[in-house]
Copies of this chain bind each other. A is one copy, B any other.
Amino acid sequence: MTMTPSKLAMVPFVSVDNMMKLVHSIGLEQFLRDLATEIEADFLRWELFDKTPRVGSHSAVGVIELMPTSDGELYGFKYVNGHPKNMKEGLQTVTAFGLLADVYSGYPVLLSEMTMLTALRTAATSAVATKHLAAKGADTMAMIGNGAQSEFQCLAQKAVNGITNIRLYDIDMAATKKCAANLAGHGLNVTMCTTPEEAIEGAQVITTATADKDMATILTDNMVGAGVHINAIGGDCPGKTELHRDIVSRSTVFVEYPPQTRIEGEIQQMDPDHPVVELWEVMSGKANGRTSAAEITLFDGVGFAIEDFSALRYVHNKIKDTAFYDDLDFVADPDDPRDLFGMLQRAKD
């Protein structure tokens, strides 16, 4: 006999296909702007969140992580892997899914794909950091690393900050060509560059999103001029960095959550007490952002659970009254809560 599950037993699930449909129904740039707004709103109530560094399980080829947080009403977590070797095998370096639950009952209220959503929220977070840290009037960005994250970064910068000149560089020109082709028709002036030096010419913003798992130095010190804002997105696990430490030394470093960034970010190269500023403090006026035109600001982004929470809450709100989810029979919820066994037994009849 097939049981009819109770209403609370059903949890809305947003598949990859439905996530893409949701994005297009809202519009990609609007979706990125909305995500930026949600992330900013949560950064402004940063102190209210239950925060913990992610819980990682490391192997020789990658890491699988759980990233939980809670604002006291909703609980969210993301499952995410990081396997740099996957790309060569035709797989995603990063895949993810996430869940929201009601803190009061502990019952899940949303399950969602987050491979796509993570790419969107990561780009929105960079745009938020850039908004608060880059020189006023910045209109040109160098995009170093033209892999799966690159187009999202470029479009979020356009949607949130009006950056319309994009200079692409990747060690693999095929990636650059892929990125440029994808960005065509999105209202951006895209230049394909053959060296990182060429890419950063005239750029007030430099974003690095590379995926090699070693202490790489995509940018060296002599390449970075005064006044630039850098988003270093790709160095996001122990042993993986993108910038030479001399650049980090010359920069004012802004981070999401110091206990996590000191392990995973560019600052893992520095002393354990290397000075950092928390991005939420800049946004809430508790700390300075950029203080001079010549200052180099560095957002050492590693991705934090609260950004995923913001994105999941946004999706949870946006799918209401749409067809962009499926109800999953997810929670065993018998009429008499003490009668789980009776529920099982009746399923046999």
Contact partner of A17 (CB less than 8 A), chosen from B3, B182, B334, is: B3
- Pair A106/B116 contact, Cβ less than 8 Å: no
9 closest cross-chain pairs (CB), A and B: A81-B106, A151-B341, A20-B347, A115-B332, A15-B329, A148-B340, A147-B338, A16-B332, A83-B106
Contact partner of A107 (CB less than 8 A), chosen from B8, B81, B150, is: B81
Give the nearest-CB partner of A77 in chain B.
Answer: B66
Q: Is A342 an interface residue (CB 8 A)?
A: yes
A89 to chain B, nearest CB (A): 8
Given A57-B50, A148-B339, A338-B147, residue A331 in contact with residue B92 (CB < 8 A): yes
Category for how many chain A residues contact B: 35 or more
Q: How many copies does the complex hold?
A: 2
A286 to chain B, nearest CB (A): 26
Contacts of A340 in B (CB 8 A): 92, 115-116, 119, 148-149, 152
A149 to B337, CA, bound (A): 11
Contacts of A24 in B (CB 8 A): 347-348
A55 to B79, CA, bound (A): 14
Q: Is A314 an interface residue (CB 8 A)?
A: no
- Selecting from A39-47, A97-105, A124-132, A199-207, the interface stretch reads A97-105
Apart from A20-B347, A97-B108, A113-B332, 6 more pairs, CB < 8 Å: A2-B17, A57-B103, A62-B105, A83-B106, A113-B329, A148-B338
